Structure 1
Amino acid sequence: MSSFRWIYDLTIILYALSVLGYFVDFLQNNRKANRIAFWLLSIVWVLQFAVLVFRVFETNRFPVLTPTEGLFFYSWMIVTLSLLINWFFRVDFFVFFTNIIGFILMAVSWFAPNSYVSPQFSDQLINELAIIHITMAFIAYGAFTLSSILSIMYVTQYNMLKEKKVGKKLWRFDSLGKLDNLSYLLNVVGVPIMFLSLVLGLIYGYKMNLAPAIFYDAKVISSFIVLIVYGYYLYLRVVRGTYGRQLSYWNVAGLLVILINYFLAATLTEFHLWY
């Protein structure tokens, strides 16, 4: 990324200022800081998109195959989904909470290795099917992450109401029903995308003669655990009719599973980098 490193550095700086603006708004209910933070985050999205486009031309592939690229794309997905949800549903504080995680991912990507994929690996594993598999996985990660954050907001507001901590900050969390429904909606999107990503990955692994090792790869196993966790969330909601705090706690636990899958399992896998 050396040819456009200045864009990358500028993006991190503006991202940090945006998160700071949302933090000021969170502490002081400062609408002016909120508006500034929103426009800074919008600029961050444009710059991130520009980096992705430049990276496509630089590498002649979609940039998701190295640790830096994976973390960067994950961060971009969080920014994209948080801006879309904020635009259509207007959930206060949601963008602040989601982009704390997005900024951390972006900052970690700055230090992550960004070596090019070796020619031998490229000959075997880089084609359109592999790129689609990885990209869909990141879209699912983004949906699951935001869904879990909405559940964290639900639990936080529920506890504030239970302790009768009524104030401006409480009402800006939006209604419990809205937080619960948006969390559910994101999982409805994420589960089938994650399922299709895993199916495509297994098909590609079989095509590339990686079986049977791929079936007991740590990353593959942990990815199926992620799918099971969020699939069970849908089962609880749709079949069992479970709502509210109990379901939110399960969804929050799902975020921990994602982080384990993304960071820990990636160190134990033979076929994956950080995706």
Structure 2
Amino acid sequence: MSMTGQEMDNLFEKQSFWRNLSLFDWGWAGALILATAYVLQQYAAQMDVYELGILIGTTLSIIAWGWFWKPVRAYIVFVTLISLFSIYLYGNNLALGETNFFLKFLISSKSAIMWMSALYVLATVAYFIGLIIGSEFTNKTASAMTWSATVMGFVGLLVRWRESYLVHVDIGHFPVSNLYEVFILFSIITALLYLYYEGKSKTYTMGGFVLLVISAAVAFLLWYGFGSRGASEIQPLVPALQSYWMKIHVPANFVGYGAFALAAMLGVAYLIKDSMVKAGRNGAIINRFPDLDILDDVMYKSIALGFAFFTLATILGAMWAAEAWGGYWSWDPKETWALIVWLNYAAWLHLRLTKGWRGRPLAWWSVVGLFVTLFAFIGVNMFLSGLHSYGEL
């Protein structure tokens, strides 16, 4: 049976992909496989079949991620080395976090998260300075600070994971269990998504707008985590969260949230530039904004990516609910608002793909969509109660 021209093209593309993998690509895969084999040798007896599946799936995903986006390899290496150094310094004594210089001021979970927070705010300022004065050096400095902040944020989460076990083995848990932890996760994911599109579009001038929403998350994090609430302190998991589902449902959800936030801030940039151009105010600063076509394209790609992950997270959440509460869907306020968010972005993508909508209307929609998403993320916890009330403010 002969193949069609399209099938031959697809086969050729697949063969070309494998042929184009370099020695470094295979070395990357080999190093991760060896690291996973070591983890399995040390801890497989303490892991159930689901956790083994998550570990292997994560390894394969990171291998593919590093093949697809090569800059992330250095990021993962830095995060791994710093996290392991912090864990080594702790040993089995959590109290060293208050006496060891490196832990106290640099790489305990709280210190790393404070560095993350400071660097994100400084990067936001630097991006806007770079936009205003047109300085390539300032823009590159802002990008480097964003990378550094994202390293420290991920280090903070991984070290916090270890710290939770040092508090007590029964308290140890994957660090995405409360608003303090997930706001760190949100900041990291949104920054990584932005850095990917920054590299692909080869423009730094989107940075200030995207970093604004991350700085807002940092402000909330500092208020919520280090105030009188004591949310930064490690607490035992509530029974509803004591499940392997949390390790996959929550991260998938926050890829969606991060992508939607990124699209909304690019929508803001689009509306500002479009309004200024139509008003005839084509000053130097406006001319340094990204092209409207770039903003429109990245906004679309972000929402498409976010929608895919949010759909996956919703399916995983339904499966978790069936296991925990005996039913896939209960019209809990959190579930209902998740459905509203899903329908909102499904309609956005439908109008773009089938009706040819572009530009200003969808930019406005992406901005409004952020407020819908924000209510689903935080507002439900503040004003409504239900099965997900363990996440309330």
- Same fold, judged at TM 0.5 (above): yes
**Alignment partner of 1:77: what SS?**
helix
- Number of the residue aligned with 1:33: 138
Correspondence for 1:73 among 178, 185, 190: 185
Correspondence for 2:290 among 158, 171, 174: 174
Cα distance, 1:24 vs. partner? 1.8
RMSD of aligned Cα (Å): 2.2
Structure 2: which 5+ runs fail to align?
Answer: 1-93, 98-107, 165-171, 225-230
In 2, the alpha carbon distance for the partners of 1:155 and 1:20 equals 21
Cα distance, 1:141 vs. partner? 0.4
Could you tell me which amino acid in structure 2 is paired with residue 28 of structure 1? Answer: I
- Number of the residue aligned with 1:219: 334
- Number of the residue aligned with 1:148: 264
In 2, the alpha carbon distance for the partners of 1:92 and 1:43 equals 16
Alignment partner of 1:43 is 2:159 = no
**Alignment partner of 1:216: what SS?**
coil
- Number of the residue aligned with 1:200: 316
Could you tell me which amino acid in structure 1 is paired with residue 140 of structure 2? Answer: R
Alignment partner of 1:23 is 2:138 = no
Cα distance, 1:225 vs. partner? 0.7
Alignment partner of 1:8 is 2:108 = no
Correspondence for 1:109 among 221, 245, 269: 221
Cα distance, 1:148 vs. partner? 1.6
Question: Which protein, 1 or 2, shows the higher relative CO under an 8 Å CA cutoff with sep ≥ 6?
Answer: 1
Could you tell me which amino acid in structure 2 is paired with residue 125 of structure 1? Answer: L
Instruction: Calculate the TM-score normalised by the size of structure 2.
Output: 0.65
In 2, the alpha carbon distance for the partners of 1:49 and 1:206 equals 31
In 2, the alpha carbon distance for the partners of 1:18 and 1:257 equals 27
Cα distance, 1:257 vs. partner? 0.7
Count of equivalent residues? 272
In 2, the alpha carbon distance for the partners of 1:134 and 1:146 equals 18
- Number of the residue aligned with 2:174: 62
In 1, the alpha carbon distance for the partners of 2:298 and 2:142 equals 23
Q: Residues 67-90 of structure 1, C-alpha deviation per residue, up to 9 Å, x if partnerless? A: 110111111111111111111112
Q: Alignment identity in percent?
A: 24
Alignment partner of 1:187 is 2:303 = yes
**Alignment partner of 2:245: what SS?**
helix
Cα distance, 1:216 vs. partner? 2.2
Does the C-alpha gap of structure 1 residues 136 and 253 become closer, same or farther in structure 2, counting only changes over 3 Å? same
Cα distance, 1:55 vs. partner? 1.8
In 2, the alpha carbon distance for the partners of 1:274 and 1:184 equals 32
- Number of the residue aligned with 2:279: 163
**Alignment partner of 1:127: what SS?**
coil
Does the C-alpha gap of structure 1 residues 117 and 197 become closer, same or farther in structure 2, counting only changes over 3 Å? farther
Alignment partner of 1:256 is 2:371 = yes
Contact between 1:92 and 1:173, CA under 8 Å: does it hold in 2?
no
Does the C-alpha gap of structure 1 residues 170 and 10 become closer, same or farther in structure 2, counting only changes over 3 Å? same
Does the C-alpha gap of structure 1 residues 117 and 202 become closer, same or farther in structure 2, counting only changes over 3 Å? farther
Determine which structure has more spread, i.e. the larger CA radius of gyration: 2
Instruction: Calculate the TM-score normalised by the size of structure 1.
Output: 0.90
Cα distance, 1:106 vs. partner? 1.8
In 2, the alpha carbon distance for the partners of 1:116 and 1:266 equals 20
In 1, the alpha carbon distance for the partners of 2:233 and 2:163 equals 13
